[in-house]
Amino acid sequence: MLGGGGPTPPPPPPYDAEIEYLASNGTAYIDTGIECTGDLSVQCEIYWTAQTGNSICGGLNNDTDTYLAHCMIPNSSNHNFYWWQTSSASPASIHFNSGPARNTWHEFHLDGDTGDWKYNSSGGAWTTGSVTPVSGTRTTGKSYGLFARIEASGSISGRTSYWRWCKLLRGGVLLRDFIPVRVGTVGYMYDRVSGTLFGNAGGGSFTLGNDK
C-alpha cells in the first residue's frame, strides 16, 4: 500500500528563536572560521554607543608586511567610524572616514574585490565611494572576527557593539550568512550557509535582543 502525506518537512533549526540583535560587552566575540584576507567582502548592520578606540571586527597581521582589516570607533569626541582595509604593500585606505555616528543603526557593504563601499544610516539614503582594493594575498593568517579583531598574535581587540546580521563573501560566493539567535538564554550567531551555530569564543557573555 502506498503511503501519502507529501514531502518530509525539514528538521527544526538548532535554536529556540531568532532575536533582534546580539551585543558584546567588549570581550565576547565570534570566530567566523573564515580567513581574514584582502579580498574578503563584508556586509553587516551594526550599532555602537561609546568611544573606546577598540575594534569591533576584522583582523591584524602586524609583521614585516602588515595587513589590517577592521572596523574601529576612535577614542575621540566626534564619534566617527573608521573601516580600515590596508597593507604595507599598498597605500593605506580608510573607508567610512567620518559620517556614521553612534546610537544609530548603520548598514555597511565593503567589496573586497573592487574596493567599492557604501553605507546607510537607519535605512536612509546610501553614501557610496571606492578605494583601491588590497591584494587578496594579504592575510592575517587568522579568522575574521565579529565583535572583536582577531590578531595574528592571538590577541583580541574588542569593544561593545550590537549586530543584526553579517555576511562574508569571497569572489562573489557567500561564505557566511549570520543572524543572531538564542538557545535558551544563551546568544549565538547562526550561519544559514552551513547551518551551524557559532558561540562566544571570548570572555563574558553576549547580551540578547528581544525575540523576533
Model confidence at 1: pLDDT above 50: no
How far out from the chain centre does Cα 99 lie? 19
Instruction: Identify the pLDDT of residue 82.
Output: 66
11: pLDDT strictly greater than 60: yes
Q: What pLDDT sits at residue 15?
A: 96
pTM of the entire predicted model: 0.89
- Alpha-carbon distance of 91 to 84, in angstroms, equals 11
Mean per-residue pLDDT for 131-138? 82
pLDDT of res. 32: 98
From first CA to last CA, the distance across the chain in angstroms is: 43
Answer whether residue 86 shows pLDDT above 80. no
| pLDDT > 70 in the chain, percent | 83
Residue type present at position 175 = L
Per-residue confidence band for 79, with pLDDT thresholds at 50, 70 and 90: very low
Confidence of residue 67 (pLDDT cuts 50, 70, 90): confident
Whether the pLDDT of residue 178 is over 80: the answer is: yes
